[in-house]
Amino acid sequence: TQLLEQSPQFLSIQEGENLTVYCNSSSVFSSLQWYRQEPGEGPVLLVTVVTGGEVKKLKRLTFQFGDARKDSSLHITAAQPGDTGLYLCAGPEGGSYIPTFGRGTSLIVHP
């Protein structure tokens, strides 16, 4: 059973479009992280959300943590080809310091 479900699994869009990626769980997380992984590279941390209802912005990327701390979303405004990559959400379950990873959303932005 996958603790963190990400949707959609794949996304192929044109430059300039907006998109939202979702990360859902039936478990409560003390925090959730979003990583981006470019082809042939390791994941790189984008943001950590900690408080229920928290919203963080990173340029054109907006991250939200659900009020109940069971879900999170990533919204990209006016996507660019440089946003292409695999987006992973992750979070430590219970009192563990080891994060559980979702399976990722593969995003391709066409010029």
Give residues in contact with other proteins (CB under 8 A): 2, 30-31, 33, 35, 40-45, 48, 88, 90-92, 97-99, 101-104
**Residue 60 Ramachandran class (φ > 0 left, ψ -120 to 50 alpha, else beta):** alpha
For other proteins, give the closer residue by CB, 2 or 12. Answer: 2
CB of 92 to other proteins, least distance (A): 5
How far apart are CB 99 and other proteins at their closest, in Å?
6
Q: CB under 8 Å, gap of 24 or more: what pairs does 92-97 form?
A: 92/29, 92/30, 92/31, 93/3, 93/27, 93/29, 94/27
Min separation Cβ 94 and other proteins, Å? 12
Q: Are 48 and 69 in contact (CB under 8 A)?
A: no
- In the complex with other proteins, the residue whose CB is nearer, 59 or 97, is 97
